[in-house]
Amino acid sequence: MSIQPPGVVVVGSINADLVVTLERHPQPGETLLGRTLAVMPGGKGANQAVAAAKLQARTTLIGAVGEDAYTDVALSGLRSAGVNIDAVQRVGTTTGVAIVEVDDDGENTIVVIPGANGQVTAQLVSAAEALIAGAGVLVLQGEIPAASVAAAVDLARGRVLINLAPVIELDRTTLLRADPLVVNEHEGALVLAQLTGAPAPSGHADTVRALLSCGFSSVVMTLGGAGALVASSSGVLKIPAPSVSVVDTTGAGDAFVGALAARLVADDSLPDAVRIAVRAGAFAVGAKGAQPSYPSLDDELPAAPSEAPSELQQEADA
């Protein structure tokens, strides 16, 4: 009997996304007319699982949904992408919902109602111990309770990728298991404050260096259209993003994380995995919605621009 190689296991949120398009975002107290409303599958955990599976990583999702009108929609993208959802439990509450507003510039605002995601307890996670222990890469985010994140990390035997979005309070030992920690610039500053009580330095490279000094093995900071920084004991490397037309940024960060996990479980180096992840994220902003916009292996990713030298090399050349 053949033995399957370790895959990607995501422990995280599952939502239905209610996506509203409008000319611009309203000011506080202002009422605007929207243009369209679409109901799509979402949730950071589900998004990242779909992104990994569409790039042919063997992917399993552990989470929870409710028993309501949004359940089938929330699970539809996972089923279509071939994600194993046997460990997704149905609980006696509503399915998680995200209300997403997308303006004409493709920028979004998001309000999340956790619903069943708040019922992803440490006990639910522990029931999937064998799946988590067998994962080549375990992926976690901040849309489930902190105790559940800690329980999953405790069970992991492979690589742990923590995308701390949103930033929640985690035990230092749990957080430092991340290899890599994936954050954007705002989340990176919040994590640094959580660990040190100090404000972040003014520069992105200095912020990721400061995070490394806290004890992380590696840190990836996403910078939107500017690409990403990869920080490890080898230094800080800037990975630029392709130049693309932006239709909708919803879920682009999750496309990045899912692609990153897919390439790490395939034994790419962290910089090489980030190179693919940046291109996957750039692909995703070219279409509406989260999961429907993610690339498969049949899709041609935007061409990567020339890469900047590492920060350490720049300093040496100065």
- Domain-embedded: residue 230: yes
Name the residue among 238, 228, 230, 239 with its Cα closest to residue 211: 230
- Domain-embedded: residue 122: yes
Name the residue among 166, 173, 129, 120 with its Cα closest to residue 147: 120
Q: What is the pLDDT of residue 105?
A: 86
- Domain-embedded: residue 201: yes
122: left (phi over 0), alpha (psi -120 to 50) or beta: alpha
Q: What is the pLDDT of residue 245?
A: 86
Contacts with 192 (C-beta within 8 Å, 6 or more apart), sequence order:
198, 199, 200, 207, 210, 211, 214
68 is an active site residue: no
Helix (H) or strand (E) holding 185, with range, is helix 185-196
Mean pLDDT by runs of 10 across the 318 residues of the chain is 74 94 94 93 96 96 96 96 96 92 86 94 96 97 96 98 95 97 96 91 93 97 94 94 86 95 97 96 89 90 72 37
Asked whether the beta carbons of 91 and 39 are under 8 A apart, the reply is no
Q: What is the pLDDT of residue 312?
A: 40
- Domain-embedded: residue 309: yes
Asked whether the beta carbons of 289 and 213 are under 8 A apart, the reply is no
Helix (H) or strand (E) holding 140, with range, is strand 137-140
- Domain-embedded: residue 156: yes
What's the rounded Cα separation, in Å, for the pair 168 and 145? 8
Q: What is the pLDDT of residue 308?
A: 55
- Domain-embedded: residue 149: yes
Q: What is the pLDDT of residue 317?
A: 33
Name the residue among 186, 282, 271, 183 with its Cα closest to residue 225: 282
- Domain-embedded: residue 219: yes
What domain range is 182 assigned to? Answer: 43-92+117-317
- Domain-embedded: residue 84: yes
What's the rounded Cα separation, in Å, for the pair 193 and 200? 7
CATH of residue 257's domain is 3.40.1190.20
Domain count within the chain: 1
What's the rounded Cα separation, in Å, for the pair 279 and 307? 13
In the three-class reduction of DSSP (H, G, I as helix; E, B as strand; rest coil), residue 201 is classed as: coil
Catalytic residue (one of 206, 254, 268, 299): 254
SS3 letters for 119-131? HCCHHHHHCCHHH
